[in-house]
Amino acid sequence: MTALHQLSACDAVTQLAQRTLRSEDLVRACIEHIDAREPEVQAWAHLQRDVAIAHAKQLDAGAHRGLLHGLPIGVKDLLATSDMPATYGSPIYANYQPGFDAACVAVARQQGAVVLGKTVSTEFATFHPNQTRNPLRLTHTPGGSSSGSAAAVADSMVPLAIGTQTAGSLIRPASYCGIVAFKPSFGCVARAGAKPLSDTLDTVGAMARTVPDAALFAAAMSGRHTWLVKSLGDVLSRPLRVGICRTYEWNQAGADTQNVFANAEHALKNAPAFEVKDLQLPADFQTLAHAQTQVQLFEQAHNLAHEHIAHFAELSPRLQGILKSGKDITHAQYDAAQLHIAKCRLQLQAVFQDVDVLLAPSAQGEAPDNLVDTGDPVFCRIWTVLHTPAINVPAGLGAHGMPVGLQVVGPVGSDELTLSAAHAVHQHIA
């Protein structure tokens, strides 16, 4: 029998709606597991045990609230919460209490979610890590910047957690921790109340252990209830057309990613539900990751101006260097990068002309075996800047027995199909 804290979100919400499971029991089970594991994993920046239990009791005694009724969730510490601190992973905000909820948190609560606490973020969602470890092997990084959200979900502390992505902060940690992450099409989940880093890139998304769970969470936060996963037969009357897309960054893929990618390609080509073809991105995409990096650095430096000017000594040396790099990018260079990005976005329709989704790498390989390097988002940058939906699915293990994920990517606005496609792909390659 599955332990309560290990229930999938979809199974739990069904039982909660039928009143065969109490939210209080589920929340208590998650808290008990957190208390046992948190000293090692360190996924949480703040926990509110008593408040969560009291909220769960209220939900058990009242009417059904919504898609997330009674489900415990984690909230990345980059997001404002009315009843908990929001530290943004920095000592500058150690005592900051926003007094309001980020939009996505407010909607999740309205849909019946029970917020257990705030999950650890790297410093201002950049590359300097905080205390979180990979629960699968404690000497390895969980990735970043949604470190605590990925670790908490992977360790079954909560079934769902909110993350954010500006380059690869949902997809990469999900790959490293062996879970699912969904980065929706840009703007589909409201960003109000998240610490702004990059106005044209920041995206709020969902972390879960299955694609249907991630779809449930994102559907609730976005209000787009059609995102709930369906069978391919319910959304298509033909095989799913999958483009095998190694991207122009393929030379940075390690042997583990190359092997897992080849195995997944083989599995899909031998499954009648899929029509698989190799796909080469347009030549302009060769420098798209560089353009994304310039935009991110530039916008981060401007959005963190207060911290840079008033609290420079309290920033890590790494973030000090990142902000300097952003300030060194000229307005002309930024404008040129944005023009190149716009040119590439115009070519997306042609990319998807003969395929429904793409299969692409999520990360260079397994999680690095250290706690100071959160990994490189190189395989995520282009999909973030193109504003496409992207979903990491666990796809295999590397040479050292750690997870390696792959991305299912769809056209902008095709989140409904992309989620169902990712679920089907995951079932065939896992």
Asked, for residue 217, whether it belongs to a domain, the answer is: yes
With respect to residue 19, please indicate whether it lies within any of the assigned structural domains.
yes
Asked if residue 89 belongs to a domain, the reply is yes
CATH number of the domain bearing residue 219 = 3.90.1300.10
Q: Are 82 and 98 in contact (CB under 8 A)?
A: yes
In a domain, 353, yes or no: no
Q: Which residues does the annotation mark as catalytic?
A: 76, 145, 169
Number of structural domains found in the chain: 1
Residues of the chain with confidence (pLDDT) below 50: none
113 within a domain of the structure (yes/no): yes
* Contact in structure between 107 and 97 (CB atoms under 8 Å): no
pLDDT at 366: 98
Contacts by 47-52, CB closer than 8 A, 24 or more apart: 47/116, 47/117, 48/83, 48/84, 48/115, 48/116, 48/117, 49/116, 51/83, 52/27, 52/114, 52/115, 52/116, 52/117
Q: Of 171, 141, 132, give the one whose Cα is nearest residue 37.
A: 132
User: Is there a domain that residue 370 lies in?
Assistant: no
Task: For residue 346, tell me if it sits in a domain.
Answer: no
Give residue 93's identity as a one-letter amino acid code: Y
Token duo for residue 137: 């092997």
Is 74 within 8 Å of 119 (Cβ atoms)?
A: yes
pTM for the structure as a whole: 0.98
CB contact at 8 A, 105 and 162: yes
Residue range of the domain that includes 137: 4-227
Q: Is 179 within a domain?
A: yes
pLDDT at 1: 81
In angstroms, how far apart are the furthest CA atoms of the chain? 61
